[in-house]
Amino acid sequence: MKFVAKAFSTFFGAGYFPIAPGTFASLIAALLYKFFLVRWNWPWYAALICLIFFLGALSCSIFSEELGQKDPRKIVIDEVCGQWLVYFLIAGTWTNMIIGFFLFRIFDVVKPPPIQKLEKLPGGWGIMADDILAAVYSAVLLHAYLFIK
C-alpha cells in the first residue's frame, strides 16, 4: 500500500523532478488535458477530478506520514488535481491552457486568504484542499476572462 501511495502522490515519479516539481507536474497535467482529457465528456471528467481528489487525500496522508513531513515537495498529485480543475469546462486552446496554467501556479504559490488556512487541515486533506481552492480562484478568473472576451 505504501508503494502505491508513493507512486500516486508523486504522480508516478513527477514529484522527483529536481527543479520546481509542482510546476513540472502542473505542466504534465496541462499537456495531458490538451492532448487527451479535453475530449472527455464533462461528467466523466468531473468524476476523474473527484476520484483524484479523494485518492490523493488518502495517498498523501500515507506518504507524508511515511516521510514525516506535513507537505513534502515530492507530493504533486495536488497540483495535478488542481490544474485539471482549472480546465473544467474550458476549451483546450493554447491561450486558455497557458492562462489557466499561470493563474493556477500563481495562486498555488502565493496562497492568498483563505487558501493558506486550508493547509492546516489534517493529513492529505490539507495537502489537497489548498490546491483545490487555488484552482477555484484560477477557474473563476479564467471563466470571467472568457466571458468578457
pLDDT at 8: 97
Is residue 143 over pLDDT 90?
yes
* Average pLDDT for the chain: 96
Which of 77-98 are b and which e, b meaning 16 or more Cβ less than 10 Å from the residue's Cβ? bbbbbbbbbbbbebebeeebbe
pLDDT computed for residue 149 by the predictor: 82
Q: Could you give the percent of the chain with pLDDT greater than 70? A: 100
Q: Is the pLDDT of residue 1 over 90?
A: no
CA torsion sign for 87, 42, 38, 63 is positive
Rounded-to-integer distance, Cα 52 and Cα 37, Å: 14
Mean pLDDT, range 58-70, rounded to an integer? 95
Q: What is the mean pLDDT of residues 81-99?
A: 97
Tell whether the model's pLDDT for residue 125 goes beyond 90.
yes
Whether residue 111 is predicted with pLDDT greater than 90 in this model: the reply is yes
Can you tell me the mean pLDDT for 110-126? 94
Query: What pTM, to 2 d.p., does this model score?
Result: 0.96
The residue-averaged pLDDT of 108-134 equals 95
How confident is residue 43, by pLDDT bands cut at 50, 70 and 90?
very high
Residue 102 · residue 44 · CB < 8 Å: no
Asked if 31 and 48 touch (Cβ cutoff 8 Å), the reply is no
Residue 101 has pLDDT above 90, yes or no: yes
